Chains A and B, each alone.
Chain A
Amino acid sequence: MGVILIAERINGSFKDVGKAIQEKDKAVIHDWIAKQVASGADYLDVNMGAASRNPDDFAWLVEVVAKASPIPLSIDCNRLDMFRIGLKTYRDTAGDRPVLINSTTAEDSKLVPLMEMASEYQASIIGVVMDERGSPQDVDRRLELGAKIFGAAIEAGLATDQIFLDPIAMPLKFMQEQAKNVLNAIQQMTMLSDPPPHISVGLSNISSKAGERKLINRTFMIMAMAVGLDAAILNVCDEDMRNAVATAELVMGQEIYSDAYLKAYRQRGAAQA
């Protein structure tokens, strides 16, 4: 049912959150939890960005969010030791609630230990289709790496609906030809299994450094939904985006129509909070 919205805002790369991490200021974090949950987020992404490289800071951040959030977290970092401390802190704080690992790549040095962690913590996991050779520039390479990650996840005992593949959205401004490749890759990833894994992108990449960022994000999001995207890391507080997603869900037949469907979509958040 519906696109899985992973809310991006608790990220140390944003100035206010970065400062809050350094100063251990819970209020700023709590504010973003409330806003994003009210906007209908399904997961809260938690990422330190450049604010700190200290695992203790990450543990603090995960604990603060897990304690106050009524919805599951997406533990977002890129070092194995950070994932370990993040997941352990989450379990200690939030018990058996679902959790998302964001993310592994197809490199064995990450893929193998992160799949083990996903299995140990009964976590869902995002697999980004890149490896030691970097990001793919065509459709086939995206599929090849997607299949590798999918296979590793199944082997680790994950259920199909715990697996998210990310075909990597790239900046339209600098790599215009890649947008079509991503759309093609999404469509083909839906044929990996039946039912297919989730397919997710880090949406804001598509509009990186561009003007009209919101319009580009929104247009790409809807086009990607049409070919099978069913999750995204994005700014859930963008109301135009939410309304477009709600409408696309109707067009795709994922939701039953009603005249007040936007109202119903808005109430999603209220129901969770």
Chain B
Amino acid sequence: MLPEAKKTWSGRINTVTIGATQAEGGTRSFTIAIGGSATLPFLGFEGNFAHPVVAMEVLDVCPQEWPDLLKEPFGSALEKPGPWARRCLEFGADLICLRLLGCHPEHGNRSPDQAAQAVKEVLQAVPAPLVIIGTGNAEKDNEIFPVVAEAAAGENCLIGNIDEKNYKTLVAVCTAYKHKIIAESPCDVNMAKQVNILAQDMGFPVENIVINPSCASLGYGLEYVYSVIERARQAGLKGDRMLGQPIVCDIGTEAWGVKEARVSESEIPEWGSQRRRAPLWEASTAAAYLMAGADLLILRHPEAVEAVKKFSAELAGAAAGAKAPGATD
């Protein structure tokens, strides 16, 4: 008889719940729990494996730089975040990720009030929980976060990103308005831990943090991020509280920024149809991160969302039905 090969871990990844129903002080019709796994991805026969969820990305402004094939499924809905968010739910998104790109000084420099307006519009348009991501410009983020967090008060949103240098404002407003936080660290497990410690030191519970390891697209350093996620996840499962957080992979931005998604068939004929290739590039990138341990994926193209959800369900189903090597029962 083969020896029992199941592995049990002493730790467990935290569960971070996003959204609040009316009973909980919000207006969402459901909430979404991310994280909670007690074992490595898709090894459901060993312990609880929490199914990853997919958020679809919505911008506060009509996207200027998206290729036509990415705009096409959404049609005129792209002009307003509310209708856009509704389309995303029709395409099977579990929740919505609103990126306030239009507030970036170089992409429109919209005001904090306009940012808050976009947040309110999405909250009114859809019943799903909301992830909100700032501009990535620290100075501007610190202007918009207080206003945005207040506008979404009670809705228990997941807001990001904080990093090692810029965390105090968002931590303070998320404490005040009771939101969850995304902590970003550029492909660096030591930094991921550091940001969590800093946030906790301000009194913010690490149980309310989601780790963003700064994703890279397939072909552009994905394997480095993959290793960071693996290391963080194993440390978390071994009981390291400062790395026991769920992981978000913000994939759309990366996958749609590389030439494999952007170059047309006429430019490089041997790469084949861009229409098929580009969503596939996004889906393949996401699939790799699923296997590394991602709990929340942020995606753009509906076909990528569909493919990733199917892939994830198939893997989870196979694992749940499989017997552990050496199992006798």
Whether B198 lies near A256 (C-beta < 8 A) is no
Whether B201 lies near A260 (C-beta < 8 A) is yes
What is the CA–CA distance of A264 and B198 in the complex, to the nearest angstrom? 9
Give A263's nearest chain B residue, CB to CB.
B197
* Beta-carbon contacts under 8 Å, A233-273 to B: 255-261, 263-264, 267-268, 271
What is the CA–CA distance of A259 and B197 in the complex, to the nearest angstrom? 9
B190 at the interface (CB under 8 A from A): yes
What is the CA–CA distance of A1 and B240 in the complex, to the nearest angstrom? 8
Whether B201 lies near A256 (C-beta < 8 A) is no
Q: Mark A173-200, 1 if CB is under 8 A from B, else 0.
A: 0000000000000000000000000000
Give B207's nearest chain A residue, CB to CB.
A271
B71 at the interface (CB under 8 A from A): no
Whether B197 lies near A260 (C-beta < 8 A) is yes
What is the CA–CA distance of A261 and B242 in the complex, to the nearest angstrom? 10
Residues of A within 8 A of B231 (CB): 256
Q: A1-B10, A256-B231, A263-B201 are in contact. Are A271 and B241 (CB under 8 A)?
A: yes
What is the CA–CA distance of A264 and B241 in the complex, to the nearest angstrom? 9
Q: A1-B10, A1-B239, A264-B242 are in contact. Are A256 and B194 (CB under 8 A)?
A: no
Of the candidates A256, A263, A267, the one whose C-beta lies within 8 Å of that of B243 is: A256
B241: shortest Cβ distance to chain A, in Å? 6
Residues of A within 8 A of B190 (CB): 256-259
* Beta-carbon contacts under 8 Å, B288-313 to A: none
Of the candidates B194, B238, B239, B241, the one whose C-beta lies within 8 Å of that of A258 is: B194
A250: shortest Cβ distance to chain B, in Å? 10
Residues of A within 8 A of B239 (CB): 1
B residues adjacent to A (C-beta < 8 A): 10-11, 189-191, 193-194, 197-198, 200-201, 231-232, 235, 238-243
B164: shortest Cβ distance to chain A, in Å? 8
Residues of A within 8 A of B11 (CB): 1
B215: shortest Cβ distance to chain A, in Å? 20
Whether A259 lies near B243 (C-beta < 8 A) is no
What is the CA–CA distance of A240 and B228 in the complex, to the nearest angstrom? 31
Q: A255-B240, A256-B235, A258-B242 are in contact. Are A264 and B193 (CB under 8 A)?
A: yes
What is the CA–CA distance of A259 and B243 in the complex, to the nearest angstrom? 14
Residues of A within 8 A of B10 (CB): 1
| Residue from the set A1, A256, A261, A268 with the largest chain B CB neighbour count within 10 Å | A256
Q: A1-B240, A255-B240, A258-B242 are in contact. Are A267 and B193 (CB under 8 A)?
A: no
A98: shortest Cβ distance to chain B, in Å? 12
| Residue from the set A258, A260, A267 with the largest chain B CB neighbour count within 10 Å | A258
Residues of A within 8 A of B191 (CB): 258
Give B234's nearest chain A residue, CB to CB.
A256
Residues of B within 8 A of A259 (CB): 190, 194
B294: shortest Cβ distance to chain A, in Å? 19
What is the CA–CA distance of A271 and B231 in the complex, to the nearest angstrom? 23
| Residue from the set B10, B194, B198 with the largest chain A CB neighbour count within 10 Å | B194
Q: A1-B10, A256-B190, A258-B190 are in contact. Are A264 and B197 (CB under 8 A)?
A: yes
Residues of A within 8 A of B242 (CB): 258, 264
Give B236's nearest chain A residue, CB to CB.
A256
Residues of A within 8 A of B201 (CB): 260, 263, 267
Of the candidates B194, B235, B240, B241, the one whose C-beta lies within 8 Å of that of A260 is: B194
Query: Can you list the 10 inter-chain pairs with the closest CB atoms, starting with the nearest?
Result: A258-B193, A258-B194, A260-B197, A1-B239, A264-B197, A257-B190, A256-B235, A258-B190, A264-B242, A259-B194
A134: shortest Cβ distance to chain B, in Å? 37
A273: shortest Cβ distance to chain B, in Å? 14
Whether A256 lies near B197 (C-beta < 8 A) is no
Q: Mark A95-129, 1 if CB is under 8 A from B, else 0.
A: 00000000000000000000000000000000000
What is the CA–CA distance of A265 and B12 in the complex, to the nearest angstrom? 19
Residues of B within 8 A of A1 (CB): 10-11, 238-240
A132: shortest Cβ distance to chain B, in Å? 38
Give B188's nearest chain A residue, CB to CB.
A258
What is the CA–CA distance of A13 and B97 in the complex, to the nearest angstrom? 61
Whether A267 lies near B240 (C-beta < 8 A) is no
Give B194's nearest chain A residue, CB to CB.
A258
B316: shortest Cβ distance to chain A, in Å? 28
Residues of A within 8 A of B241 (CB): 264, 267-268, 271
What is the CA–CA distance of A119 and B241 in the complex, to the nearest angstrom? 31
What is the CA–CA distance of A271 and B235 in the complex, to the nearest angstrom? 17
Give B193's nearest chain A residue, CB to CB.
A258
Q: A1-B10, A1-B239, A1-B240 are in contact. Are A256 and B200 (CB under 8 A)?
A: no
Residues of B within 8 A of A264 (CB): 193, 197, 241-242
Residues of A within 8 A of B194 (CB): 258-260
Residues of B within 8 A of A271 (CB): 241
A14: shortest Cβ distance to chain B, in Å? 31
Residues of A within 8 A of B243 (CB): 256
List, sorted by A's number, 22 A–B pairs whose CB atoms are closer than 8 Å. A1-B10, A1-B11, A1-B240, A255-B240, A256-B189, A256-B193, A256-B240, A256-B243, A257-B190, A257-B193, A258-B194, A258-B197, A259-B190, A259-B194, A260-B201, A261-B197, A264-B193, A264-B197, A264-B242, A267-B197, A267-B201, A268-B241
